[in-house]
Every structure is written in C-alpha cells, then in structure tokens.
Amino acid sequence: MGTTSVARLAAVSALLFGLPHFGYHLGHVAHFARIDQVLIVATTGLGVVVPLVLLAVPGRRVNPPGTP
C-alpha cells in the first residue's frame, strides 16, 4: 500500500466525518449571531471541501524497479 492509497483513505475518512458534521452545523446555527453563522458554516465546510480536493488530486504512478 503506497502513500497515495493511505492519503486517499485518510481523505475518505475525513469526508465521512466532515459531511455529517457540516450538515449538523448547517441546521443548527440559527441561534448564533450572523458573523458566527458565517464562520461556523465556512469552517465546517472546509471539512468537506479539503477532503474532496485531496481526492481529486491524481495519484502518482510508481513503476516497479527493473530486475537486474
């Protein structure tokens, strides 16, 4: 398992946490001041956007070493 696979697994794990976390906060910000609402939605939204961006980055191909 290469580092690209591990990075993708970590991104999927972060997305599986970040998506419901974002959804929860999106539905529970009404009692905060407007600036707090914006900051809460923006920062929890990063928990969804960053893993999606990382999953979109193409992996590097590693050629197997040649046999002597």
Give phi and psi for 28, each to the nearest 5: -130, 45
pLDDT digits (tens, 9 = 90+) for 8-31: 999 999 999 999 999 999 999 999
The share of the chain scoring above pLDDT 70, in percent, equals 84
pTM for the full model?
0.77
Give phi and psi for 48, each to the nearest 5: -105, -45
Calculate the dihedral angle through the C-alpha atoms of 12, 17, 23, 25, rounding to the nearest 10 degrees.
Answer: -140
- Residue 68's pLDDT band (cuts 50, 70, 90): low
